[in-house]
Amino acid sequence: MQEVKIAFLGFGNVGQALARLFLDKQTLLRDQYNLTYRAVGIATGRHGVAMDSRGLDLQEALALADQGKSLHPLSAAEPPEDGLEFIRTCAADVLFENTPVNYQTGQPAIDHIRTALENGMHAITANKGPVVHAYDRLTTLAKKHGKHFLFESTVMDGAPVFGLWRETLPAAEVRSFEGILNSTTNLILTLMEDGKSFAEALAVAESIGIAESDPQGDTQGWDAAIKVAALVTVLMGVPLIPDQVEREGIENISLEDVTSAASERTRWKLLCRAEKRAGEIHASVRPALVGPDSPLFNVQGTSSAITFQSDVLGDLTLVETDPSPETTAYGLFADFINAVKPRSG
């Protein structure tokens, strides 16, 4: 039986959902993968830090976080000065890095993942910044140390967007894609079809916890742009940052615009597009009208979808219905299994 020591850097909605998933799946991990785990560290801005090489009680950690209390009473060590020191001293085998995204630089998450890899850990994240701003560097570093840098949850939560092309469809070349990749804006536009104003719809998105901490990251198209950049960087092999994606958000779409579109049997969507032409990438995020003939027409609420075109297949569409922190957590959990499961041969 292989025991894996895990640490959480970031313990918000997704981190807590991941902890619950570990608790729920511990029997499956043991029976199907011959794996057990021991949580040795949790670091969060809101609830403090807990570290114990003997293992932390995840159930108790979740209860404290749910009550808004500090995790420090669970700790057997004094809290480190910062996230980097936490990584160096927690002695984990796997770090889950789930700090807030920085669209412009990817920091400090890049340094967190670099430090984890340099200290012999697999690094798994739902943070898009390191993928966009340091994919080649971190991938090379991971290979150097015989570890994995994995990030399935960065786009479409638990849907296997990256794994589909890198593992299930070997040697296929992604030439273009078009999709709805931001749940907040899609929900806002759906609620506006029901008669809510932009402000009312945004308030609903914030109340159910799907909006970014700064919702302009959603409504101005930054979250969508960094996801486009991540897909292009990894799946099309061309480094791209959000500033290189033509970007327009949905803030100028009025209730009248949505009503008028409905009368024409069309819908407004914040469309994410990228295409490789003559070796160059043309990428954009902008509102567009789609009709009933589009596979994206009926993607409503918080759902997301993407249609890929490749050199060997016709259009291939993935749809994820109403994602949640639990689906994002599943992507992290799947990456964990792929990183640490015993390899045959």
DSSP, residue by residue, 29-84: HHHHH-EEEEEEEEEETTTEEEE-TT---HHHHHHHHHTT--SGGG-SSPPPSSHH
Superfamily of domain 2-158+326-340: NAD(P)-binding Rossmann-like Domain (3.40.50.720)
Three-class DSSP category at 271: strand
Selection from 6, 101, 99, 100 nearest residue 61 by Cα: 6
User: CB of 299 within 8 A of CB of 186?
Assistant: yes
- H helix or E strand, kind and range, residue 307: strand 304-310
- Give the C-alpha separation, 226 to 241, whole Å: 7
Looking at residue 77, what is its pLDDT? 84
Looking at residue 345, what is its pLDDT? 43
Assigned token pair, 101? 């995204």
Domain ranges (residues) in the chain: 2-158+326-340, 167-322
Q: Give me the architecture of the 167-322 domain, per CATH.
A: 2-Layer Sandwich (3.30)
Polymer length of the chain: 345
For residue 108, say if its preceding peptide bond is cis, omega within 30 degrees of 0.
yes
Residues labelled catalytic? 227
- Give the C-alpha separation, 186 to 304, whole Å: 8
Q: What is the pLDDT along the chain (345 residues), one digit of tens a residue?
A: 899 999 999 999 999 999 999 999 999 999 999 999 999 999 998 899 999 999 999 999 999 999 999 999 999 988 898 999 999 999 999 999 999 999 999 999 999 999 999 999 999 999 999 999 999 999 999 999 999 999 999 999 889 999 999 889 989 999 999 999 999 999 999 999 999 999 999 999 999 878 877 889 999 999 999 999 999 999 999 999 999 999 999 999 999 999 999 999 999 999 999 999 888 999 999 999 999 999 999 999 999 999 999 999 989 999 999 888 899 999 999 999 999 987 654
Looking at residue 68, what is its pLDDT? 93
What are the residues whose beta carbons fall under 8 Å from the beta carbon of 144, sequence distance 6 or more? Answer: none
Is residue 61 packed enough to be buried (19+ CB in 10 Å), middle (13-18) or exposed (0-12)? buried
Task: Write the single-letter amino acid at 42.
Answer: I
Task: Write the single-letter amino acid at 158.
Answer: G
Assigned token pair, 8? 């959480």
**In whole angstroms, how far apart are CA 239 and each of 16, 122, 127?**
32, 23, 17
Three-class DSSP category at 95: strand
Looking at residue 343, what is its pLDDT? 66
Residue 314: CA count within 13 A, CB half-sphere: 0
User: CB of 310 within 8 A of CB of 175?
Assistant: yes
Backbone angles phi, psi at 73, to 5 degrees: -60, -20
- Give the C-alpha separation, 245 to 302, whole Å: 23
- Give the C-alpha separation, 223 to 220, whole Å: 8
**In whole angstroms, how far apart are CA 162 and each of 93, 153, 318?**
23, 9, 12
- H helix or E strand, kind and range, residue 128: helix 128-144
Looking at residue 188, what is its pLDDT? 97
Looking at residue 299, what is its pLDDT? 96
Q: Which residues pair with 42 in a beta bridge?
A: 8, 50
Is residue 248 packed enough to be buried (19+ CB in 10 Å), middle (13-18) or exposed (0-12)? middle
